[in-house]
C-alpha cells in the first residue's frame, strides 16, 4: 500500500480555510482518494485539551508567550504521532487545517520568537516531518479580521491588536516566498475564483504524483 499525502491549508483569520478544505475534499472524492481531516491545535482528545488552553479567554492568569509556543508544539506532536502518521502509513491522505507554518507565522512572526528557537522546537517535535503541499490563503489582515469578527465571538489569539496580525501576515508571506512547496492563493478574490485556484493547485499536485 502506498503512503498517503499530507495537504495543509494555511491562512489568517477570515481567509476562508473551511470552504477551501471543502474544495479539497470534493477533489479527493472525485479521484477516489481516501482521506481524513485534522486541525491544529487539536485533532486528538489530548491535543484538543491543549487547544482549549491556548484559545480560551477564561484563564485567571496570563498565558505567557513561551507557554503558548510550547502548548502549540505539544499539541502538534500528539496529532502527528497519533493521527497523521498512522493515517499516512495506512495509505490515507490527510487534509490539515494548519500545521507548523502557523507557529512560524503566529509565534515566530507575531510573538517575535527567534528562528533558531522555532527550528529547535520543531526539530524535537516533528523530527523533520513536512507537508507534501501547503496552500496558503493570503488575505490582508484588516479584511480577514473583519470577516472573523462578523462570525461571532473571538478567541484569545483573535483578540490581539492589529499590529500583531500585520506581523503574522508579513511572516506568512516571507515564508511562502522561500518554500516552493507552499502555493499562495489570493484569498481576497471572489470566492469562485479562490476555489478555482485551489482546484488547479490540487489537481496539478495529483497529476504530478500520477506521473511519478
pLDDT the model gives residue 18: 95
CA dist 108 and 167 (Å) reads 9
Q: Is residue 157 part of a domain?
A: yes
Handedness of CA 109, 111, 115, 120 (dihedral sign): negative
Contact residues for 153 (Cβ-Cβ < 8 A; gap 6+): none
- Total structural domains in the chain? 1
Summarize pLDDT for 159-209 with one digit per residue, the tens.
899 999 999 999 999 999 999 999 999 999 999 999 999 999 999 999 998
Q: Is residue 205 part of a domain?
A: yes
pLDDT the model gives residue 160: 93
Q: Is residue 120 part of a domain?
A: yes
Domain harbouring 157, CATH code: 3.40.50.300
Low-confidence ranges of the chain (pLDDT < 70): 1-2, 210-212
Q: Is residue 167 part of a domain?
A: yes
pTM score, whole prediction: 0.94
Q: Is residue 140 part of a domain?
A: yes
Please identify which residue in the block is written with the cell numbers 496558503: 136
pLDDT the model gives residue 186: 98
Q: Is residue 40 part of a domain?
A: yes
pLDDT the model gives residue 194: 97
Q: Is residue 1 part of a domain?
A: no
Domain that holds residue 103: 6-211
Contact residues for 184 (Cβ-Cβ < 8 A; gap 6+): 136, 138, 173, 176
Q: Is residue 147 part of a domain?
A: yes
pLDDT the model gives residue 59: 80
pLDDT the model gives residue 153: 81
pLDDT the model gives residue 154: 86
Amino acid at each position: 500500500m502506498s503512503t498517503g499525502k499530507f495537504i495543509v491549508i494555511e491562512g489568517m483569520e477570515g481567509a476562508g480555510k473551511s470552504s477551501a478544505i471543502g474544495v479539497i475534499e470534493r477533489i479527493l472524492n472525485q479521484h477516489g482518494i481516501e482521506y481524513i481531516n485534522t486541525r491544529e491545535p487539536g485533532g486528538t482528545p489530548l491535543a484538543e485539551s491543549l487547544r482549549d488552553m491556548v484559545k480560551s479567554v477564561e484563564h485567571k492568569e496570563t498565558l505567557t508567550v513561551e507557554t503558548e509556543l510550547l502548548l502549540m508544539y505539544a499539541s502538534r506532536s500528539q496529532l502527528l504521532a497519533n493521527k497523521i502518521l498512522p493515517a499516512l502509513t495506512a495509505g490515507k491522505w490527510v487534509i490539515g487545517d494548519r500545521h507548523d507554518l502557523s507557529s512560524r507565522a503566529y509565534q515566530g512572526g507575531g510573538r517575535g520568537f527567534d528562528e533558531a528557537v522555532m527550528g529547535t522546537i520543531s526539530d524535537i517535535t516533528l523530527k523533520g516531518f513536512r507537508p507534501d503541499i501547503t496552500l496558503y490563503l493570503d488575505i490582508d489582515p484588516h479584511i480577514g479580521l473583519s470577516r472573523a469578527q462578523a462570525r461571532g465571538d473571538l478567541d484569545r489569539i483573535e483578540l490581539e491588536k492589529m499590529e500583531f496580525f500585520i506581523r503574522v501576515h508579513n511572516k506568512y508571506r516571507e515564508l511562502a516566498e522561500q518554500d516552493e512547496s507552499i502555493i499562495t492563493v489570493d484569498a481576497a478574490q471572489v470566492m469562485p475564483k479562490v476555489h478555482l485556484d485551489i482546484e488547479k493547485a490540487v489537481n496539478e499536485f495529483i497529476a504530478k504524483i500520477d506521473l511519478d
